[in-house]
Each structure stands twice: as structure tokens, then as C-alpha cells.
Structure 1
């Protein structure tokens, strides 16, 4: 580590506040790298960025440039990219202004290395000016595989678009594999999937998400846990996540429509659905008895502290789920699908419970409802695992092994 080393970081969304999965990872990665190097941040933003938010990030960085990409123009760029044979994703996050700013920065004072967050930002450095600059690309997930899954499991009208998007994102991932110094994904299993379906010989590394265990910690435990059904107090379930994100929408809708009614026939139970941007389908779930769609909140922790059990019934999940780690850090027992548990080295029955079909879900929640002591034991084991293995510094320190030391970086950045 050399504090004089200059790093360019590219993100597809402004990383603060860390209110969604991609922002949580990109913000903590930015904060970690800024503690080690001189970081310049260039990013697009599909939502307004306040002066306070910008000021917070500028305190960490040498320079910051944000380009808005929201609104109608975003859809137009996506359509143009699609018509030209590129992915919709590339078009949505393309802006000439950011291309120019990144090249101007690099020509004026060359960066020693680059960290690209998500494949959609790679085109900004897919340029001769950066050919000899070591570049680490954090893909997070194998996005092409996500689009492939969605093309199979979505409604007929969207399948063709999703299938074409999967093919084009896969081509971008292969180009990245050929050119980048290293590729990072959110888990070892996701890294192995990348080798299998994208590039067998690529330099690929699994670096999972972490969690801020001081921020996400147990709430007031003064009220003793009670067995569901023994009193009028209902078992309280909570689901958190961005409520316009298709895997979240599909997962929580499936749970509410197929799992939840059968649970309510056995004992009193309530469900809070918490998160930003609930779409019409999610909002309609509030019509189901016992379901409350809370929507966006300034702080999700009170809702985690109020709950008895957290759930993550995702079937299309890719990579590690921040919401699962956050609930575990709050000492909540969590019931998850196999997909939602991916990337977390947890043992079902000890740190969480895994369920994939309706019967398994109903049995797992009934077990936790009727055994408050078991809820407490699993919750404590969950937090112990997160504290010991999933702090952000412990997880992200692996990035340092991928970054060339300054002399090597300087020589590579110089013209031959």
C-alpha cells in the first residue's frame, strides 16, 4: 500500500447513501480503497444527488464527477444501444460527458490503476488510453446468467428481450475477461460460475460482501420471546429489499400468495414488507390479511428489531444477499431459499434455516414460531458468524492482493 498511488473508481450509481445491495457494496469498497489510496470517483446517477450526499463522498475522494442518467433520455440511450447490437444495460449508463471527463483526468495525471464496479461501466475504460493501466473489474454477479434465468422464468412478452440481453451482456463479460487484470465476483460459487459459462481461463476471485456489525446490531431484548399461538401476540415476519427489483418482487409475491395464507391458518402471524420503490404488484400484497407494505424508511433497523423472523424467499437471486447478512447481524433468525443463502458460509439449522418449497417454508416458520428459545439460539449463532467472518474490512482486504504495488503500476502506466 502506498498512499501516493492514484486510483480511478467507476460506479454505475452514486454510492451514497448505501440503501440498496449495489450501493452497499460500492460504498464500502470506496470507503475502504479511499483509506489506502488517492481515489477519484466517476459515476452515473439515476436519482438526484443532494449537496450533503456529494459532500460526504468528496471528503473521501481526491475528485468526484457525477453524471445524471435518469429520465426519458436513459430509455432512449438504452434503445439506441440495443439497436446498435449492444446491451440495454450499456446504453442506460452511457454518457459522453463521463467518457470525456475520465479520459481528461487520465491524460492530465495518469492513474496507477482502475477499479470498475459492474460491467456497465467497463466501456468507459475500454479505450487505448487505458490499455496499459491495470484494471480490476468487480462484476458482483454474473449478470448474463441472471438475464438468462429471467428469460426462462418471466412472462412470454419479456422473454425474447431478456434472452437477447443475456447474449449481449455475456459478450461484454467475455471482453472484460480478455482485457482486465482481474475480475471479482461476490462469492466463490459465483466466480466458479463465471469460469464455467463465460471464461474458463480468466483471473477470477470471489470476494463477498460484509456488514457493518456496529450499525446492524441486536435491538432491545428486554421483552421475552413468546410462543406463537400461546397468546394473542402474532409472530412478526419481516422482508427487506428494493421493492421494484424483479427477483425481490417475484420472491415476496410468491411467499405472500402461496406460503403465507397456510401459515395464518396455523397461528397468528404478521408480515412487514420494507423497502424503497414498491411497484404496483408489491403494493397489491397489502390486500392480503396480515401483510403490511411499509415501503421506504429512513432506517431499516427498527423494523428488524421489531421482528421475530426475517425472510428471503428469492428464487432468482445471484450472489450474496446483504439483507440476509444485516438481519443475521441483528440477531434475527432468518429463513431463506437456497439461492438467498448463496455465498454465505452458514449451516442450515445452526445459523439460519433453508426452505425452497411451500411445505418447507411453512414447516420452518412454524418451527421458529413454536420454539422461541430456538429462535434466540439461531439468532445468536447468526450474529456470531457475521461478526467473525463478514466484517467489511476483513472481506475487502482481499482486494489489496489484486492491486499491483506502486513501482509496477507506475511502470505499466508509462508509455513504452
Structure 2
């Protein structure tokens, strides 16, 4: 098979958080058509155990450790070079050396880059077809962080938003094509980089509906007589942590007063200290990493996603819908999802009173299943169908190369 260089900012396994779900399925799909040469970082010590899973899909690999604390120090170089801090955070000379060696040895003509931070390694190879999967508009995420933080961090985050947008524009202009996670996300980028519009595309994420299947039997993780609300997500990710802290402090006490048996489960790996402290509040459980999130979804009365900082597609919402659960979420978490046809089982709330009113109908009786949710996910979020966009772009590149 033809060789392809695939660069990812974080090992694409296990597929248990947003970016790794997308990068894993992209890798698995590409491996059906190309000999993959994968370069990536490992920033979670537990992820070293998954090297063999990833190697099985690749012709060659380069795994390098990324220590978040050391990388934060390295990122400060951007303050005097003028770069976005994200770029030195993810730059390591050994990866550049590996990329250069693979490009020469394998005569690589196709490159797929996942996350803008990894594009710096292949800027020197314009002769290859370079496809950039931005996923989300990361620059806007930093700008949202700035609005939520006080001085001096708000100034640093605002600067990062500006500098990273400059870099995103540069990559979109110089690479052959760029991808985003939704039509909405692609549209926002085109508004900010109109000259790049002809080269901007998108493909939806997918859901493994065979895995997230409500007809499978899952043990109930909740004690008898409990009414369970659940939030799922990586709990060392600041937007997730901020969301559950706000919900626990602002919304849940009102709900708990109305329903004494109501419990809020925060399910996800690596909870921050501030998230762990929420477990001191009556009715709130912080699970940490769990071997399987599906039992918590299957037996919950309602899934909540109160993110106030969000970009792109929230996989946690798609997985809940695939499990036929009712969902109450913030408008920010729903950007990019056309869910109007789902009706009352998938609603948004902004003000505290809207959250309280939106939760209540789902707390009476046993948990309900909404088959229309799964049907909608199956129709719109199939990985094989959606990744056809990537196939089309790479095929067009092969056609042009043969013609030339």
C-alpha cells in the first residue's frame, strides 16, 4: 500500500475522549487504504500500555513522551518568538528528526495532520499533498477561556486566541485542504479566513452504535431508589470541570431540594482537585476513571451537558443519544448539531430556572428510552459514511499526481 504520514498530537487510543475518538477512527479508516507512518505524543502515563494496539494499524510509529508541566514551560518560548504558545508546547526535535527521516525513506506523497499544533512538522514539505484536520477552531476556544478568566490569565489566553488564529489561517492557506468537525465549525472559520474558503471542508464525527447499544445488558451502578443525573467526560479538561462545578453549585441544590433521592454522577478520568471536592456535597458522586461508561448512561434518568465553553461536536451528547437517553444541555454544547427534529427529549437551557424546569419531567418513574434519538444518530453519525470526505480528498490528490 502507498505510504501516508499521519501526525496526531495525542496517541489515538483508547477512544475514550473527544479528540481520541475522532483520531482513532480516522487512523483505523486510513489504515485500510495506506501504510501508515504515525508520529504522536503520549501525555498520560496509562496510555503507554496501548502502543501495541496502535502499532497493529501502522507500518511504523514514533511515540514520544509529553510531560504537561515541562511542555508548559517550553511553551513560554512563544512569548519572545511571537508564536502561539501551543506550537512550542507540542514541538520536540526528535519528532521532527523522525518525520524528516520517514519523508525521505518512504518518499511520502500524502500527509494527514490532526490538530493544528502538529502542522509545524510538515511545513517544509509543500511537494506532498497535505490534509489538515483542525477538528475544532482551537483559537476560538482560547478566546472563550479569556472571557471566563481574570487578569493576567485572560490577557494570556486572549493573546493565544489571536496568535493561534493567525497560524490556523496560515496552515489553511498553505496546505492543500482543511477539515473541521461540522458545517458550523467550518463556516465560522471561513468567516475569519475568507480567502481559505475554497479549500475548507468538514466531516461529522461518528458513533460506534454497536458499542453504544441500549439493548445490551449493563449492570446498574446506582443504588436502588436513586434518581440519577449523569455527566460524562474527561475531568481534567477545563471546560468539563467548569461545567460540573457550575451545575453542582448553581443548579443541583435546587433540584436536590425538590427530589431528595436525586444524585448527580460526574463520570470521567483524572478529576481535578476542585472537581473531587464536589463529592463533599450531599448527593454528588465523582467516580474518576471507570472501565465502562455505558452502565452509567443506560441507567441514568437524564444526561446533562452544561458546558459554557465549547467548540465543535460533543461526543458525550452523541453517545447519550445513541443510548436513547434524554439530554439537557447548554446551547454552547449543541453548536454544530441539528437536533431540532428530536423534540422535547433533547433540549437546551441557559438560565437556572430553565435548567430546573427542563430536568423535572424526566425524574418521575423509571428511566425512559427515546428510540428516535438512536435513529437520528444512526442516520447522521456513521463513521464509514462520514469519513468518505477524507477518501474523496486523498483520491483527488492521487488523480492530480498521476496526471502530473
TM normalised by structure 2 equals 0.93
Residues 95, 141 of structure 1: alpha-carbon distance in 2 compared, 3 angstrom cutoff: same
Q: Which runs of 5+ in 2 are unaligned?
A: none
- Name 2:183's counterpart in structure 1: 188
Structure 1 counterpart of 2:244, from 252, 260, 263: 252
**How far did residue 410 of structure 1 move?**
5.5
Write the mapping of 1:280-295 to structure 2, written as runs, cut at 5 A: 280-295=273-288
- Deviation string 1:350-377 (CA, Å, 9 cap, x unpaired) is 551221221111111102223768x43x
- Name 2:380's counterpart in structure 1: 389
1:207/1:398 contact within 8 Å kept: yes
2:202/2:389 contact within 8 Å kept: no
Write the mapping of 1:14-413 to structure 2, written as runs, cut at 5 A: 14-48=11-45, 52-70=49-67, 72-127=69-124, 130-202=125-197, 203-218=199-214, 233-267=225-259, 268-347=261-340, 349-350=343-344, 352-370=346-364, 375-376=368-369, 379-403=370-394, 404-409=396-401
Residues 409, 56 of structure 1: alpha-carbon distance in 2 compared, 3 angstrom cutoff: farther
- Deviation string 1:68-95 (CA, Å, 9 cap, x unpaired) is 1215432232122333211221111100
2:146/2:157 contact within 8 Å kept: yes
Q: Secondary structure in 2 aligned to 1:294?
A: strand
**How far did residue 316 of structure 1 move?**
0.7
RMSD: 2.1
Q: Secondary structure in 2 aligned to 1:27?
A: helix
1:14/1:49 contact within 8 Å kept: no
Equivalences, count = 397
- Deviation string 1:84-127 (CA, Å, 9 cap, x unpaired) is 21122111110001101111111122212111000000000011
**How far did residue 9 of structure 1 move?**
0.6
- Deviation string 1:194-245 (CA, Å, 9 cap, x unpaired) is 011234433111211111001111156799xxxxxxxx82321110111121
1:184/1:206 contact within 8 Å kept: yes
TM normalised by structure 1 equals 0.90
- Deviation string 1:47-83 (CA, Å, 9 cap, x unpaired) is 2366651111111111111121215432232122333
Q: Secondary structure in 2 aligned to 1:156?
A: coil
Distance in 1 (alpha carbons) for counterparts of 2:187 and 2:47: 39
**How far did residue 192 of structure 1 move?**
0.4
Q: Secondary structure in 2 aligned to 1:8?
A: strand
Distance in 2 (alpha carbons) for counterparts of 1:321 and 1:222: 23
Q: Which runs of 5+ in 1 are unaligned?
A: 224-231
1:174/1:199 contact within 8 Å kept: no
2:132/2:178 contact within 8 Å kept: yes
Residues 411, 276 of structure 1: alpha-carbon distance in 2 compared, 3 angstrom cutoff: farther
- Deviation string 1:306-365 (CA, Å, 9 cap, x unpaired) is 312111000111000011111111121111111111222212525512212211111111
Distance in 1 (alpha carbons) for counterparts of 2:285 and 2:327: 19
**How far did residue 155 of structure 1 move?**
2.6
2:130/2:177 contact within 8 Å kept: yes
- Name 1:226's counterpart in structure 2: none
